[in-house]
Amino acid sequence: MIDIEGLTKRYGAHTAVQDVSFRCEPGTVTGFLGPNGAGKSTTMRMLCGLTSPSAGRSSVLGVPFRELPNPGREVGVLLDASAQHAGRTGREILTVSARVLGVGDDRVEELLELVQLSGDRARRRAGDYSLGMRQRLGIAHALLGDPRVLVLDEPANGLDPEGIHWMRGLLRDFADRGGTVLLSSHLLHEIEAVADHLVVIAGGRIVADDSLSALLAGAGVVVRATDTAALRRALAAAELPSVTTTDGAQRVEGEAEAVGRVAAEHGLVLTELRPADRAGLEDLFLSLTTTPAERREEIAA
């Protein structure tokens, strides 16, 4: 269980995170999405006790992270896979942490095998690892204490397609056994493949918090016209918010009748008008995180 209530972080006059609240339940993978600079990493650092909030509170398993007697045995954290001793081997890095956590050496060998860093790879220095290998070592480090909660920031960064598929299965299995996963990633398709719940942050504020299926069910309509630019301008003039989908259509927050009337008034020929009964995650993400000013720039283009 992860519980975040009203977290706020200010750096002077700049507010990086504003009144962020959400929960991650046992048995689920929660995808945490947002544009660069939206406040994802700051929120996760406050959750893990690395950054002090200006306001609000957070807890893991019912208590603040800093009050856990042996945090690594309860919460596995991966916020920066490069934050490893470059001069130590993969096995040495895990062994040192195992001694601190009170974990046996057999757990180290088990995890090296799990993340495919056993044998010669375990004897190589971390400074010689590829980014993908460092990510695998970071995941092994997060799992070392056999935790009940995982907090992972961009764990798929640097992994090849096989590695991403492996990680997806690992996280799904962890959650299916009752674990709680908070997963930040810019790989939207991977979030869509593994997450049960979605939290989206933009401009330091939560803009969506619901099950993935509910959010993807969507609302409004998808419309396409022979003159796309004119359609965008007409919808904007009618104050019908829209966003361009990945295949060039417009996803509109409105009723089909209203969109049809706008098209008719402007003499636009529509080639498609249907309910947006299942938007893709990429389209949903853009609709939630694109600001009105950015939409106006797109319409003017």
Sign of CA dihedral 237, 239, 240, 245: positive
Reply yes or no on whether the pLDDT at 120 is more than 90: yes
Helix or strand holding residue 57 (H, E)? strand 55-60
Reply yes or no on whether the pLDDT at 280 is more than 70: no
DSSP β-bridge partners for residue 58 = 4
Q: In the chain, what percentage of residues exceed pLDDT 70? A: 94
Which pLDDT score is estimated for 274? 86
Q: How many beta carbons lie within 10 A of that of residue 15, not counting itself?
A: 16
Q: Tell me the pLDDT tens digit for each residue of 225-241.
A: 999 999 999 999 999 88
Q: What is the mean pLDDT of the chain?
A: 90
Which pLDDT score is estimated for 299? 40
Question: Domains (ranges, CATH) in the chain?
Answer: 2-215 (3.40.50.300), 218-300 (3.30.70)
Least confident among 95-104, 191-200, 236-245: 236-245
Which pLDDT score is estimated for 4? 97
Cβ density class 114-129: b for 16+ within 10 Å, e for less: ebebbeebbeeebeeb
